[in-house]
Amino acid sequence: MLGASLYIIVCSARNRLRVRLRRLREPRYLLGGIAGLAYIYFSVFARMRPSAGRQARRRAVGGSGGDAEVPVLALAGPAVVGVVLLGATALAWFAPVGSGLLDFSESEMQFLFPAPVSRRSLLIHRLMRSQVGIFFGSVVAGLLTSSASGLSQLRMSLAVWMLLTVSKVCFAVITLARARLASRGGGALLVAWLPVVVNLAAVAAVAAAVFRVFSGGQVTGVREAFGRMVAAATTGVAGVALWPFVVVARPLFAPWPGPFLRALGGAAMVLAALVAWMLYSDDACQDAAAAAAERRARGPARRAATYRVRATGWTLAATGRPEGVFVWKAAMQTLRLVDGRGVLRAAALLVALAVAAVSVGRPADVAAVIGVCMTGGALFTVLLAPQVLRMDMRQDLRHLEVLKTWPVKAPAVLRGELAWPGTLITAMVWAMIGVATLLSSAVFADVSGAVRLSVGAASAILAPALVFAQLVIHNGVALMFPAWVPLGTQRPRGLDAMGQRLILLGGTWVLMAVLMLPGAIAGGGVWFALRGFAGPAAFVPAALLCTAVVGLEVLVATELLGPAYERIDIMSVERSE
């Protein structure tokens, strides 16, 4: 099996590389590849030089202050990472996610499961296969280390590789052990639940120790906090409970060569123990893999199941403008998209912010915190939501085979596709601007009410212009260069795909500036003319004119993009899929 496994890994990697290299013959991938390489060079390799310069400067100055914290970090790092790892393993027992190590692919299940191969061999095969991704991640982590020394980067790569591999195996062990929790019979049940109990006991011991050291008195600085964490993690029962986790994290912080190699050896021992445990649990492998396969097989249905049919009270009228069909269609999608976790996350974030504001001893500033968050949120939503929310042509290109048969004029299709996401994003932005304006007195106490109100109103008026301008650009790009645009939830991988995204992003910003310019000039002119007697209220008519101009441009753009929709070749869309 080892030979077959190696054969699969080598052939897959080789063929993937060949495909990536072969597609560089196409200009879009070649350009993307060049842009991706340039990005990697400037963001990783070019950073090393200033880093070396910084080190030289630090040496010249004598390096006080910051340097003193390095040993503290080296000492406390393993403890902090160990605590995080312990918490993650405890969560893994209850979280409804499985280890990727047991996610056998369709082809693996079709070819390897019926083959005369033991379950242990299958697990070893999966472990070997996972090494390709882990190796790549480790190399990237090493390269990102701000150090000019190749040895230091190698050290970091090895440490990250060890940490990722141990984590992978550890979560596979937990997934396998979790499958046994429903065992029948007293003895079997006790054995099955023992790791959970031990893990939770360890969490309790560490939590108690951390609470004890931090409740002892006011923490005066980061250095002292680190020191207390080390004390909690290395003494008593907590020290014993955290030991394997600290050992795994130690190579990340150990200096080269002696301490690092010793730390790596210790982590390797933990890895060996975990691998042995995983292989011992192989009887649960088939069940866990079958469950993973079932999840995989349910993939599209599961995605569909995230939509829930509910009474919306909105039935599509029998007649009306064709744009209305697209609006209704996208609205149904939104209303049926049940993502309770997203809402919970947002709520948790708000609560955390409020708690943070209160815990720093200034509950009166909660309004200011929320106000700032809403202002930032509105900005982020205006600038990023049109790119992220792809409930438009970028999504419907997958349904082009259906759309193209509909007797609807191309500009109407495009307007219909833009209408709902644009309205939705605008509504979100308006809500945030509204809250931010209400709380603006807490944030901008020095600014007059008239200015705050005018800027708030002008921002709300400008928001749809910015949103629709971006949407029309994104959709225009999707129509004119369908092969460049990731469809729906697609995330193409590779250096060339990354480069393509960068080029698209840059292009979008340039087009956005071009599209906004006439409106900005017209609006600026109005503001300049009215500011003398209207004061800050002049922002409002200026924003109105700017929005009207951009709105007109958007309408003209939809008409101009009509022929692009008519010409769009389904083959170029299918090829990009």
- Catalog residues that contact another protein under the rule CB under 8 A: 300-305, 307, 309, 315-320, 322, 324-325, 328-329, 332-333, 336-337, 398-402, 404-409, 566-567, 569-571
State the minimum distance, in angstroms, from the CB of residue 567 to another protein: 7
229 contact partners, CB below 8 Å, separation of at least 6: 76, 79, 80, 83, 210, 213
Query: For another protein, which is the closer residue by CB, 289 or 397?
Result: 397
Q: Of 11, 12, 283, which is closest to residue 122 (Cα–Cα)?
A: 283
Give, to the nearest 10 degrees, the angle between helix 66-92 and helix 186-214.
150
Query: For another protein, which is the closer residue by CB, 61 or 402?
Result: 402
The whole-angstrom separation of Cα 150 and Cα 136 is 16
Query: For another protein, which is the closer residue by CB, 88 or 332?
Result: 332
Tokens of 12: 């897959």
Q: Of 399, 422, 514, 397, which is closest to residue 472 (Cα–Cα)?
A: 422
Residue with tokens 């708000």: 350
558 contact partners, CB below 8 Å, separation of at least 6: 411, 414, 415, 418, 472
State the minimum distance, in angstroms, from the CB of residue 315 to another protein: 7
Query: For another protein, which is the closer residue by CB, 365 or 574?
Result: 574
Q: Which residues pair with 523 in a beta bridge?
A: none
Query: For another protein, which is the closer residue by CB, 67 or 559?
Result: 559
Query: For another protein, which is the closer residue by CB, 226 or 326?
Result: 326
Query: For another protein, which is the closer residue by CB, 223 or 409?
Result: 409
Query: For another protein, which is the closer residue by CB, 120 or 409?
Result: 409
The whole-angstrom separation of Cα 237 and Cα 207 is 11
Q: Of 451, 469, 442, 430, which is closest to residue 537 (Cα–Cα)?
A: 451
Complete DSSP assignment for 48-106 = HHHHHHHHHHHHHHT--THHHHHHHHHHHHHHHHHHHHHHHHHHHTTSS---GGG---H
Q: Are 536 and 363 in contact (CB under 8 A)?
A: no
State the minimum distance, in angstroms, from the CB of residue 342 to another protein: 16
188 contact partners, CB below 8 Å, separation of at least 6: 180
State the minimum distance, in angstroms, from the CB of residue 325 to another protein: 6
Query: For another protein, which is the closer residue by CB, 345 or 399?
Result: 399
State the minimum distance, in angstroms, from the CB of residue 307 to another protein: 4
Query: For another protein, which is the closer residue by CB, 58 or 398?
Result: 398
* 272 to 124, 175, 245: CA distances (angstroms): 13, 18, 14
The whole-angstrom separation of Cα 186 and Cα 176 is 19
State the minimum distance, in angstroms, from the CB of residue 308 to another protein: 8
The whole-angstrom separation of Cα 260 and Cα 251 is 6
557 contact partners, CB below 8 Å, separation of at least 6: 472, 476, 515
DSSP state of 408: -
State the minimum distance, in angstroms, from the CB of residue 403 to another protein: 9
78 contact partners, CB below 8 Å, separation of at least 6: 233, 246, 247, 249, 250, 252, 253
State the minimum distance, in angstroms, from the CB of residue 400 to another protein: 7
Query: For another protein, which is the closer residue by CB, 172 or 400?
Result: 400
State the minimum distance, in angstroms, from the CB of residue 393 to another protein: 14
State the minimum distance, in angstroms, from the CB of residue 338 to another protein: 11
Cis-peptide, bond into residue 257, ω within 30° of zero: yes
Q: Of 325, 333, 341, which is closest to residue 391 (Cα–Cα)?
A: 333
State the minimum distance, in angstroms, from the CB of residue 465 to another protein: 29
State the minimum distance, in angstroms, from the CB of residue 320 to another protein: 7
Query: For another protein, which is the closer residue by CB, 333 or 448?
Result: 333
